[in-house]
Chain A
Amino acid sequence: MNYPKITEVLENKREAKDVKTLTFKNLFQTIPGQFYMIWIPEIDEIPMSVSYIAEEIKGFTYRNIGEATNALYNLKKGDKIGIRGPYGNGFEIIGNHILFVGGGTGIAMLAPAIEEAIIKNIRTTLIIGVKTKSELFFEKRLKVNGNEVIITSDDGSIGEKGFASDVARKIIENDGIDSVITCGPELMMKKLLNYCENISFQASLERFMKCAMGLCGQCCIGRGIRVCKEGPIFNGELLKNIDDFGKYKRDASGKKIYF
């Protein structure tokens, strides 16, 4: 049933400046890349990709950027939220050497995918791109055996100074990568797609979402492809044939907003 079931917040833990992870009890099997609709009563209901997918406890990690996330940010253990989901298709964790590229908060939803790849004994390289040092999180969680982690920052305050996409390009050209999985700013992901001519590419797309049930049409891209239902993870072949990708998204009214 696509109805927001009232659930208690288990924990709402700080990860970095303005970033928290909220966990809740939930027994639904969830795969990396899927999302839940989170209802904050009397405020809003928003999509959140999972950053933790344990059998009994799920969680998502978010940045405080607007009214709804600010309301989430102030929630405490025991507060009530409504949960429906999981929704969407999720990642396919395939390849011999996967390059993960997380831009900004995008790293949050990549984390469970990286952990799954490690469990599957797939060689992984991860680039976390941030604007500045204070934005970085999940570095410790993901610095584990078998996963090479590279940090980039726009201002050079941590890791390599520069863009994650430029570092990714070198790695794709030289390190025998056969699969790229990414979540972050769309222009970054669009650049990455251009570097992935002959290798598998999967990106998680964000569009203004309302019903998450494939009905309202708000999140559609291309020829009526619903990000909530056929996505939010799309492969390179599909994205190459969609005009919207890296060009525009539509706001709550359906008006096109160019990047």
Chain B
Amino acid sequence: MVDITTNIAGIKIENPTILASGIMDEDAGSIQRIIDNGAGAIVTKSIGSISRGGYPNPTLIELDHGILNAMGLPNPGIDDFGKEIKLLTLSKKPIIGSIFAGNIDEFINLANKMQNYGVSAVELNLSCPHAKHYGLELGCDSNLVRKITSSVKKSVKIPVFVKLSPNVTNIVEIAKSAQEGNADAIVAINTVKAMKIDIDIGKPVLSNKIGGYSGEAIKPIGVRCVYELSANIDIPIIGVGGIKTGEDVIEYLMAGASAVQIGSGIYYRGTEIFGKLNKEIIDWMELHSYVKLKDIIGVSHT
């Protein structure tokens, strides 16, 4: 019998597939569907202090090897979202509350509210590539990353994950700052800053013009980031970016990830992707005589 349980910062997860922030996670019903489909844990939509409608459409389009989006951080606001999380407390799967903010006090307030709602951990979105004053605008400054992380850490008891962007010169430097701020885990990567111009009309397609690219095209970038992080930091890493198959998950684990997140994969393989990946991971492990998932983590470094 193969053991695919994993552990992030003391949170036991029955399998390594976690729903990534932003996909099918804006209300309790959608999150429940992903739980029903076998995800080990779920990350909520990134939630801010007040409600945001996001950008006008087009906000999401398919390209040849991935998906381009600039949703604009739509969310109902932290107070309304509490009702959604409370509807989920019966579920035994860990719920990770993703939050975004423009300053430290706001992060602290959001993290505390998430903790009160009963989430297992918070994920700081320091990496959204297309929202002014949020995300990447904070997440490319290592001093700020350290300050935000340590301030949130001091104010809550639950683990704090920091989600980083690949759109920086040196992701390791930023991750080290998060680690110095006592982050419990690093989540890497967010989408890759990108755009699409329609040549028939000579204009960008996304209403925000610039967005974030996800899907299979960015998997090698994600794997590289996780590999570099794993060689240079001591806290667990959750790998994200372009995962579609069980073998993709294995690759991220070998790079050093302790778990992975799935977003665009839902487009390619449906909401059933979580159960499918777990079966594929087990099949692969049996074929290659692995008994524990832990034994795969980081093997590419040795």
Min CB distance, B63 to chain A, in Å? 7
Considering only residues 207-223 of chain B, those with a C-beta below 8 Å from chain A are 207
Whether a CB of chain B sits under 8 angstroms from the CB of A16 is no
Partner of B51, one of A41, A46, A255: A255
Partner of A216, one of B31, B59, B271: B59
Min CB distance, A247 to chain B, in Å? 13
Return chain A residues, CB-CB under 8 Å to B27.
Answer: 217, 220, 250, 254
Q: Contact: B71 with A224, CB < 8 Å?
A: no
Q: Contact: B30 with A215, CB < 8 Å?
A: no
Return chain B residues, CB-CB under 8 Å to A255.
Answer: 51, 76-77, 80
Proximity string of chain A (238-258) to chain B, C-beta cutoff 8 Å, 1 when within and 0 when not: 000000000000111111100
Considering only residues 205-244 of chain A, those with a C-beta below 8 Å from chain B are 210-211, 213-218, 220-225
Q: Please, how many angstroms separate the alpha-carbon atoms of A174 and B246 in the complex? A: 57
Whether a CB of chain A sits under 8 angstroms from the CB of B186 is no
Q: Contact: A1 with B45, CB < 8 Å?
A: no
Q: Please, how many angstroms separate the alpha-carbon atoms of A210 and B32 in the complex? A: 21
Q: Contact: B31 with A253, CB < 8 Å?
A: no
Proximity string of chain B (182-222) to chain A, C-beta cutoff 8 Å, 1 when within and 0 when not: 00000000000000001011010101000000000000000
Interface size class of B (residues with CB under 8 A): 35 or more
Whether a CB of chain B sits under 8 angstroms from the CB of A4 is yes
Contact (A216, B76) CB under 8 Å given A42-B203, A224-B32, A224-B271 = no
Q: Contact: A223 with B24, CB < 8 Å?
A: no
Interface size class of A (residues with CB under 8 A): 35 or more
Partner of A220, one of B24, B59, B69, B76: B24
Return chain B residues, CB-CB under 8 Å to A224.
Answer: 24, 29-34, 271
Min CB distance, B48 to chain A, in Å? 10
Return chain B residues, CB-CB under 8 Å to A42.
Answer: 203
Whose C-beta in chain B lies nearest to the C-beta of A222? B29
Contact (A80, B60) CB under 8 Å given A224-B31, A253-B54, A254-B45 = no
Q: Contact: A210 with B29, CB < 8 Å?
A: no
Considering only residues 46-100 of chain B, those with a C-beta below 8 Å from chain A are 51-54, 56-64, 67, 69, 71, 74-77, 80
Q: Contact: A80 with B29, CB < 8 Å?
A: no
Q: Contact: B23 with A220, CB < 8 Å?
A: no
Specify the main secondary structure of chain B where it touches its partner. loop
Return chain B residues, CB-CB under 8 Å to A37.
Answer: 57
Q: Contact: A45 with B77, CB < 8 Å?
A: no
Min CB distance, A251 to chain B, in Å? 7
Considering only residues 114-154 of chain A, those with a C-beta below 8 Å from chain B are none
Residue with the greatest number of chain B CB neighbours at <10 A, chosen from A43, A214, A216, A221: A216
Q: Contact: A253 with B77, CB < 8 Å?
A: yes
Return chain B residues, CB-CB under 8 Å to A253.
Answer: 51-54, 74-77
Q: Please, how many angstroms separate the alpha-carbon atoms of A26 and B24 in the complex? A: 31
Considering only residues 257-273 of chain B, those with a C-beta below 8 Å from chain A are 263-264, 266-267, 270-271
Return chain A residues, CB-CB under 8 Å to B31.
Answer: 224
Return chain B residues, CB-CB under 8 Å to A3.
Answer: 61-63, 205
Return chain B residues, CB-CB under 8 Å to A215.
Answer: 23-24, 60, 67, 263-264, 266-267
Q: Contact: A254 with B76, CB < 8 Å?
A: yes
Return chain A residues, CB-CB under 8 Å to B198.
Answer: 4, 6, 41, 82
Nearest 8 CB-CB pairings of A with B? A224-B33, A252-B53, A45-B57, A6-B200, A2-B62, A211-B60, A224-B30, A253-B51
CB-defined A-B contacts under 8 Å, sample of 22? A1-B62, A3-B63, A3-B205, A6-B198, A6-B200, A41-B203, A44-B57, A82-B205, A211-B60, A215-B263, A217-B23, A217-B26, A220-B27, A224-B30, A225-B33, A250-B26, A250-B27, A251-B53, A252-B54, A254-B76, A255-B80, A256-B76
Query: 14 new A-B pairs (CB below 8 Å) besides A1-B62, A251-B53, A253-B54?
Result: A6-B201, A44-B207, A80-B201, A210-B60, A210-B74, A216-B69, A217-B23, A220-B33, A223-B33, A224-B29, A224-B34, A254-B45, A254-B51, A254-B80
